[in-house]
Amino acid sequence: MTMPPSLLLAVPGVFEVLTAPAGPDQDALMALVHELAASLGKAIDAKDPHTLAHSEEVAEVANYLATVMGLPREATACIHVAGHLHDIGKIGVPDAVLGKPGRLNPNEWEKMKAHPVIGAEILLPLTCFAQTGIVAMVKAHHERFDGGGYPQGLCGQAIPLGARIICVADSLSAMLQTRPYRPAMGFDEALREIVRCSGSQFDPEVVAAFTAVAGDVRRLFGSCRDGIRMP
């Protein structure tokens, strides 16, 4: 799996951008990195007919939760970028699987489950993304806190914290979107489901941070979507 040429041309110096001290020039470059990542996220969302501003939602919610949890500015910036890029591996998932108007069969599900590894392979040639943990976060965003996730079956603290944060944001966004086999949940119902799965699917520390600012997160979703109704 090779890096899309547009991404290769746009990322020289990204490692320096992500790790440099704050300042006007660095802030401007960081904004460019985020714009690039956001554009790629939108491209992936356009490939999947079941998503609506999904990558933007995941990125913005993950960024906000990381900030609320007190993570350093550099770590938060990397989580923000990884949130935009978390589904980039769907480039390698067949359109018939992504667009299937119903539940996936076991063979199709295995193809869908390959997207975190494909995404990591796409980004790995960029040393800057590997060294800042972005590749690891993309690869691990479907791991579960109890070890029952994929692709590696990591558990607990072995899962990068950024991936644990993205997992909550990703699951919340997915629950708030309609799927061929179920209607969209309301925000409060999705919140209850995340709390229910704390300690099994999700890191309890991340869930606690989310529940403490749930009202703010609800408003973030409203800013990412047009015409969304969240009861």
Q: State pLDDT tens for residues 94-112.
A: 999 988 888 899 999 999 9
Specify the amino acid at residue 27.
D
Q: Is the Cβ–Cβ distance between 212 and 206 less than 8 Å?
A: no
Please report whether residue 231 resides in a domain: no
Please report whether residue 230 resides in a domain: no
Please report whether residue 229 resides in a domain: no
pLDDT value at 207 more than 90: yes
Structural domain total, the chain: 1
Check which CATH number belongs to the domain holding 13 and give it.
1.10.3210.10
Residue 14 pLDDT level (bands cut at 50, 70, 90): low
DSSP string, 120-164: HHHHTT-HHHHHTTHHHHHHHTT--TTS--SSS---GGGS-HHHH
Provide the residue range defining the domain that includes 44.
5-224
Please report whether residue 105 resides in a domain: yes
CA–CA dist 187, 65 (Å, integer): 17
Please report whether residue 175 resides in a domain: yes
pLDDT value at 171 more than 50: yes
Q: Could you read off the pLDDT of 61-79 as tens digits, one per residue?
A: 999 999 999 999 989 999 9
Across the chain, mean pLDDT equals 86
